Amino acid sequence: MKILLIYPPVLDISKYRNFISIAPFPMVGLYYLSSFLNKFNYNCKVYDFFSESWDHIECILKEEDCDIIGINCLTESRFSSFRLLSLIKKIKKDTIVIFGGHHATHMCDQLLNNFNIDYIVLGEGENKLLNLVRAIERGIPLESLRGIAYKKKGVIIKDLGYASNSIIDLDSLPFPFSEQNRELFRKYPDLKNKHLELFVHFFYQFAQFFIHLFYFLA
Ligand code: B12
């Protein structure tokens, strides 16, 4: 089974391109998932579309042959996740789409009711995604799976055992980055030359925190 895991573009790059607030560091979650699945002999690859154009993304999706696509969904980048989902459902109708990440976990009912998502993995993903992929491959009933949400005959089925299947010994996980995918880091700003911007970023985040706290307490 071939699986693609995708980070959608973050926010509107055209609007924010000069501001480092937007994910200056590569994300790690999907790389952990991919190296974990590959350890079990799946063919899993990650695309980080951090700053890619939608035309480029469409070309890559058309070229890639895969059975399952997993999409990361955070609150701030959720609209990109939804756009990616529609694109996949338009050009790769039979591909199974799985969502995961913080927004998908906590808003799973809303997402399943409003979008054509096949499955949502709730919370930590490694064991749950492996079990789900195996179940899809082998036709195992999904009711037995922990930490998965999906729709069956219009009804949402979800197992909220987020913490079940958690990996206790994190050192047992394979290292997320291989020599090949290390080159992906190229698309991120060179942090060595960005101290000032980093400072501005963290100052901005702190200021936002206190403004929210002020409004909350007032
Ligand atoms: C480190 C960090 C960052 C780093 C990322 C560095 C990195 N190497 O990943 C930086 C500084 C870049 C960053 C940026 C942002 N972050 Co941040 N970040 C975190 C933090 C502290 C840890 C994330 C992490 O690495 N976790 C470890 C990895 C292994 O876990 P993971 O990514 O969640 O992935 C696992 C599961 O979620 C799941 N999973 C995830 N995606 C998928 C997809 C599929 C298909 C499946 C099956 C499973 C799955 O499986 C993975 C493995 O178990 C979290 C807080 C937290 N405790 O998680 C906040 C957090 C994720 N960030 C948050 C926010 C808001 C942001 C920003 C929007 C901030 C901003 N205004 O710019 C940006 C947006 C980034 C983006 N791409 O959209 C929020 C998200 C809230 C939400 N509801 O979505 C969090 C939860 C903090 C919070 N409590 O507010 N962040």
Compute the Cα dihedral for 144, 123, 9, 190 and give only its sign. negative
* Dist. CA 155 → ligand 1 center (Å): 29
What digits encode the pLDDT tens for the residues 171-184?
A: 999 988 876 666 66
- Whole-number Å distance, alpha carbon 65 to ligand 1 midpoint, is 27
Please tell me the residue having the least CA distance from ligand 1 atom 1.
27
Most confident of 18-22, 100-104, 191-195, 209-213: 100-104
Cβ–ligand 1 contact at 185 (below 6 Å) = no
Q: Could you list the residue range(s) of the whole structural domain that residue 74 is in? A: 2-217
Q: Mind listing the pLDDT tens digit for each residue in 158-170?
A: 998 777 778 889 9
Kindly state if the Cβ of 74 falls inside 6 Å of ligand 1: yes
Q: Which of 17, 67, 74 to mutate to test the pocket of ligand 1 (most atoms within 8 A of CB)?
A: 74
User: Which residue would you say has higher pLDDT here, 23 or 95?
Assistant: 95
pLDDT surpasses 90 at 207: no
Distance CA 163, CA 127 (A): 11
- Please report which confidence band the pLDDT of residue 115 belongs to, taking 50, 70 and 90 as the band edges: very high
201 lines ligand 1 (CB under 6 A): no
- The closest-lying atom of ligand 1 relative to the alpha carbon of residue 75 is 84
**Residue 213, helix vs strand vs coil:** helix
Which atom of ligand 1 approaches the CA of 23 most closely?
12
pLDDT band at 20 (very low <50, low <70, confident <90, very high): very low
pLDDT at res. 199: 65
First to last CA, the chain: 54
Q: What is the pLDDT of residues 42-74, one digit of tens each?
A: 999 999 888 788 999 999 999 999 999 999 999
pLDDT at position 22 over 80: no
Per-residue pLDDT at 34: 95
> Three-state SS for 203?
helix
Mean pLDDT for all residues in the chain: 86
Phi-psi map region of 147: left, alpha, beta (phi>0 left; psi -120 to 50 alpha): left
Do the bridges between strand 148-152 and strand 119-121 make them parallel or antiparallel, or are there none, so unpaired?
Answer: antiparallel
Compute the distance from residue 153 Cα to the ligand 1 centre, in Å: 32
Residue 96 pLDDT exceeds 60: yes
What tens digit of pLDDT does each residue of 123-153 get? Answer: 999 999 999 999 999 999 998 899 999 999 9
State residue 97's pLDDT score.
98
Mutate to test the pocket of ligand 1, among 3, 12, 13, 33 (most ligand atoms within 8 A of CB): 33
Split into its structural domains, the chain has a count of 1
Stretch 102-129: mean pLDDT = 96
Q: CA 101, CA 90: separation in Å to the nearest integer?
A: 23
More confident residue, 157 or 14: 157
pLDDT of residue 92: 92
Mean pLDDT of 99-107: 97
Check residue 209 and give its pLDDT: 79
Residue located nearest, by CA, to atom 59 of ligand 1:
102
19 has pLDDT over 90: no
CA of 138 from ligand 1 middle (Å) equals: 31
- Domain with residue 34: its CATH number is 3.40.50.2300
